[in-house]
Amino acid sequence: MRLRLLAGLFSLLVVLGLPACAGTAAGKDTLYRDLGGEQGIDRLVETFIRKVGRDERILPYFARASVSHFREGFTTHLCQVSGGPCTYDGDSMPDIHTGMQIDEADFNRVVELLVEAMEDNGIAYPVQNRLLARLAPLRGEIIHI
C-alpha cells in the first residue's frame, strides 16, 4: 500500500510542479550524504538491478540493455541528482526511452522497485521522498504512449 502511495506522490509532484530540489539544510545539500555517499548509492543501484532482474513485467524493458552500462549510468545519475560530486553526461532521458512505449503503470512499477530497493538498504522514508522528489520531473521524459 505504501508503495502505491509513494508512486502516486511521485506522479503528483510532477503534476503540481513542486520544486525538484528539496532537503537542504542551511543551503548545504545533504541528500548525497544521507543516501550513504558513493557506497550507499552503489548498494542502492545493485539492489535495484536485482529487483528489476526478477520482475517479469519490467525486465523486458531491459532485455537489450547492458547491465554494466545501466549500472554506471544510473549510479552517476543518482549521484548527480542527489548533489554528489558526479556529472552525468550520458544520453538524455528522451533519447534512452523513446520507442520503448513505457506506460504509466510500468513507470509506477519501476518507482515501486526503486522504493523497495531503498527500503532494503535501510534508507529512511524522508530521504526516500527527497530522492523521489528530485527524480519526479523526469516522468514526462520517460513515459511515451
How many domains is the chain built from?
1
DSSP state of 28: E
pLDDT at 71 exceeding the cut of 50: yes
In a domain, 21, yes or no: no
Q: Is residue 27 part of a domain?
A: no
- Are the beta carbons of 14 and 93 closer than 8 angstroms? no
The annotation status of 97 as a binding-site residue, yes or no, is yes
Domain that holds residue 78: 2-15+32-142
Q: Which three cell numbers stand for residue 81?
A: 541528482
Q: What is the pLDDT of residues 41-67, one digit of tens each?
A: 999 999 999 999 999 998 887 887 889
Q: Under 8 Å CB-to-CB from 86, ≥6 apart: which residues? A: 76, 79, 80
Q: What is the value of pTM for the model shown?
A: 0.76
CATH number of 51's domain: 1.10.490.10
